[in-house]
Amino acid sequence: MCCAGCERTGESEAVRGHRCVTPRRNARGRTTLAAVTLVAALALPLASCGVAFSTPAQPAAPKQSAPAAPITSPPQSPPGLATPTDDPTITATAPAATPAATAVATPSTNRAGGQSANQTPVAQAPSRPPTAAGPQVAKGAHERPSRGGVKFSPTAPGPLDGRVVVVDPGHNGTYQASINNRQVDAGGGKTKACNTSGTANGRMSEHTLNWQVAQLTAADLRARGATVWLTRPDDLGVGPCVNERAAIGNRNQADVVVSIHADGNTSASARGFHVIVGATMAGGPEAQAQSQDLAARVRDELLARTAMPRSTYTGGRTGIVARPDIAGVALSEPPAVMLELGNMRHPADAALMADGAFRRQVAIALAEAVTAQLS
């Protein structure tokens, strides 16, 4: 039989050798006697036969632990002019980010009368004046025309005081067909795809090589007094499109534009660097002539400082090629050049480009050429 204590506490009568059946109650709270009588009538004969009744032990309810505190990530600092940590040469030469860096969003009007870049400034520490322009995300290749670019102030006075240089790390780190394949203005009434991630070999991708050399070049130029605009903020995202890269220099009234690339020619004998200038340019004949001068300076500096030969497959062994189909130079108002710093598909060129010391010398060569051009 069941005791009242069993009903109240829920304890099993198995410890007493009886089965505990909790009687049901009717709507008025009274015990249903018929149910009790029926159970007793069934249980007594079976008990006399030696049948033991027991209620299976119910598992103990798990102890309730205190709710875990929510995991929160530390605030992410904005992307800076960071250097790849796997290359000690680059890490040693690029400047560290300034903790109190402040984005400078100075309104300006480009030569074509366009509006200035819309940028979100990084918060400035009130205890000290801004010393360098903080990084800003280049909005790049989206459905609307972007106002991208990442501005960095000089790190020291020098021969490039007051000068503005755009350094364009060619291509982008991510391929997104809906964006990259979109046709954009390439100059001269032509269009071309927004952008790509570039060529590659077994050692590295072109977009990463371009990014590394661009960081080194930007650091050298800033140390000489130049304000530097990078066309993209990192080696991860998509864009900007090729037409927007030219617009960054135009909007910010750059003195020169240097675009950094590497080639992917599949000919077994094709090797060496070449410098591309526009066959036509938005800046007209004066910009074209100055671009030719800058290209010659870049070529001569590379020959003097690196082991990379001039191209064996284009430019008639001069190391300089005029092309009408390169949007970054064709749409540029200031003087602009595009360096193809070697052929990534040629083993000898690829070995050079994989060497941090070579990349360091390329950056010095570019900074020297720009300094000579603008001094």
Span 90-111, pLDDT tens digits: 322 333 333 333 333 333 333 3
Q: DSSP string of 26-68?
A: -TTS-B-HHHHHHHHHHHHHHHHTT----PPPPPPPPPPPPPP
Q: Which of 157-161, 194-198, 212-216 has the lowest mean pLDDT?
A: 194-198
Catalytic residue among 206, 244, 340, 368: 340
What is the rounded average pLDDT for all residues in the chain?
Answer: 72
Whether the per-residue pLDDT at 195 is higher than 70: the answer is: yes
**Neighbour-count burial of 200, counting CB atoms closer than 10 A to its CB (0-12 exposed, 13-18 middle, 19+ buried):** middle
Mean pLDDT calculated for residue range 334-340: 99
pTM, two decimal places: 0.64
Q: How many CB atoms lie within 10 A of CB 66?
A: 5
Does the annotation count 340 as an active-site position? yes
Q: What is the pLDDT of residue 215?
A: 97
Separation between Cα atoms, residue 140 and residue 297, nearest integer Å: 30
Q: What residue type is assigned to position 221 of the chain? A: L
Give bridge partners of residue 190 from the DSSP assignment: 187
CA distance to 16, 21, 195, 204, per residue, from 54 (Å)? 9, 10, 77, 73
Whether the per-residue pLDDT at 44 is higher than 60: the answer is: no
Whether the per-residue pLDDT at 223 is higher than 70: the answer is: yes
Determine the 3-state secondary structure of 287 from DSSP: helix
Give bridge partners of residue 150 from the DSSP assignment: 230
- Token pair for residue 252? 């910010």
The CATH number of the domain covering residues in 88-94+132-374: 3.40.630.40
Separation between Cα atoms, residue 37 and residue 34, nearest integer Å: 5
pLDDT per residue as tens digits for the range 283-304: 999 999 999 999 999 999 999 9
Of the pLDDT bands very low, low, confident and very high (cuts 50, 70, 90), residue 236 is confident
User: What percent of the chain lies above the pLDDT cut of 90?
Assistant: 49
The domain segmentation of the chain, as residue ranges, is 4-48, 88-94+132-374
Give bridge partners of residue 292 from the DSSP assignment: none
